[in-house]
Amino acid sequence: MSDVWSEGDAAALTRSGEPALVLRVRSSPQPVGTRGVLDLSTELGRAPGGEVEWLGRRYRLVRPSLADLLGTLERGPQIVTPKDAFHLAYLAGAAPGASLAEAGAGSGALTVVLATLVGPAGHITSYDRRPEFLDAARRNVERAGLAGRVEFRLRDVAAEGLEGVGLGGVVLDLPEPWAVARSTRAALAPGGYVATYTPTFNQLERTVRTLRDERFEEVRALELIERPIHVGDGGTRPAFEMLGHTGFLASGRKVD
Ligand SMILES: C[S@@+](CC[C@H](N)C(=O)[O-])C[C@H]1O[C@@H](n2cnc3c(N)ncnc32)[C@H](O)[C@@H]1O
């Protein structure tokens, strides 16, 4: 990535006390929701971090962080939370240059995480059986400036299976991961990983049993609990509110 703004770069408009606004650097004025029109054309060729005046207020225009991107996604189906998304990526062997697949694309939150971690030399194939979700995920990935790393495919992977061969990892965030286990194994390179995400114990049990039946090794199952801490002078303690449950993670490796 160049250290100056180019046409179409994803950018975040930040200001103290306000949530970041994620948009693209364009050579012509662009509408920003219902808030008016913003002209960023003079930023082209300049370094990120410059000051932008808009609607009488001063903002900083910076490269968007993953938190900016994930916090402002266009929402469709339930997205995977950051704590689970990054661990799923870890379990699936995401690394710079890796070739991975995921199903389903949903809102594209996990796609944005995976595409960031594999870097410009990596590749993600993202499946969904619903065209409207595939479009929503595509819009979110484009908005994040990661479209060149992701290929979206309309496919019911439970009925038709995963395509491809030689993948480094596969993430399954759909209701019936066991229905995709066999074709996932066929699509993985030796040493490749599968990681699954399901909300109920029943789904987890069936998934793990199927991974074992399909001769995956190093099979693991876990849940991650995130407990926010309220920090006050002399009164630091766990927050009263926390997200009680998100989903269970499972993983396995194709060894032979
Ligand atoms: C919970 S969402 C995925 C959320 C996504 N990981 C994210 O972070 O935004 C589950 C998705 O799986 C898709 N799906 C369910 N069964 C599928 C199948 N058999 N083949 C392909 N996609 C499927 C659904 O259409 C839905 O978009």
First to last CA, the chain: 38
d(CA 57, CA 50): 14
Q: Is residue 45 part of a domain?
A: yes
Instruction: Determine the pLDDT at residue 77.
Output: 85
Q: Is residue 231 part of a domain?
A: no
> Do 196 and 250 meet the contact criterion of CB atoms below 8 Å apart?
yes
Whether a cis peptide bond, with omega within 30° of 0, leads into 104 is yes
**Domain range spanning residue 124?**
69-224+239-253
**Spatial strand order in the sheet of 150-154:** 150-154, 123-128, 99-103, 167-172, 188-198, 248-253, 217-223
Whether 42 and 81 share a structural domain:
no
Query: What tens-digit pLDDT sequence spans the chain (256 residues)?
Result: 569 999 999 999 999 999 999 999 999 999 988 889 999 999 999 999 999 999 999 999 999 999 999 998 988 888 999 999 999 999 999 999 999 999 999 999 999 999 999 999 999 999 999 999 999 999 999 999 999 999 999 999 999 999 989 999 999 999 999 999 999 999 999 999 999 999 999 999 999 999 999 999 999 999 999 999 999 999 999 999 999 999 999 999 999 8
Measured over the CA atoms of residue 160, residue 163, residue 166 and residue 171, the dihedral's sign is negative
Q: How many helices (H) and strands (E) does the chain have?
A: 7, 15
d(CA 134, CA 126): 8
- CATH, residue 108: 3.40.50.150
Give the burial string for 65-94 (b: 16+ CB within 10 Å, else e). Answer: eeebbbebbeebbebbebebbbbbbbbbbb
Each residue's pLDDT tens digit, 230-247: 999 999 999 999 999 999
Q: HSE (CB half, 13 Å, CA atoms) of 28?
A: 1
Q: State which H helix or E strand residue 180 sits in.
A: none
| Burial (Cβ within 10 Å: 0-12, 13-18, ≥19) of residue 174 | buried
Whether 137 and 29 share a structural domain:
no
Local structure of 226: helix, strand or coil: coil
Distance 106 CA to ligand 1 centre (A): 5
Q: Is the CB of 174 under 6 A from ligand 1?
A: yes
Q: Is residue 230 part of a domain?
A: no
Question: Count of domains in the chain?
Answer: 2
Residue 102 Cα: closest atom of ligand 1: 6
Measured over the CA atoms of residue 249, residue 130, residue 118 and residue 180, the dihedral's sign is positive
Q: Is residue 1 part of a domain?
A: no
Distance 173 CA to ligand 1 centre (A): 6
Q: State which H helix or E strand residue 114 sits in.
A: helix 109-118
Residue ranges with strand state E in the chain: 10-15, 18-24, 30-31, 37-38, 50-54, 57-62, 99-103, 123-128, 150-154, 167-172, 188-198, 217-223, 229-230, 237-238, 248-253
Q: Is residue 79 part of a domain?
A: yes
Q: Is residue 233 part of a domain?
A: no
Residue with tokens 């509110």: 241
Q: Is residue 91 part of a domain?
A: yes
Distance 18 CA to ligand 1 centre (A): 32
Whether 38 and 106 share a structural domain:
no
Whether 49 and 74 share a structural domain:
no
Whether 103 and 19 share a structural domain:
no
Q: Is residue 232 part of a domain?
A: no
Q: Is the CB of 157 under 6 A from ligand 1?
A: yes
Whether 93 and 198 share a structural domain:
yes
Whether 81 and 44 share a structural domain:
no
Each residue's pLDDT tens digit, 65-100: 999 999 989 888 889 999 999 999 999 999 999 999
Q: Is the CB of 103 under 6 A from ligand 1?
A: yes
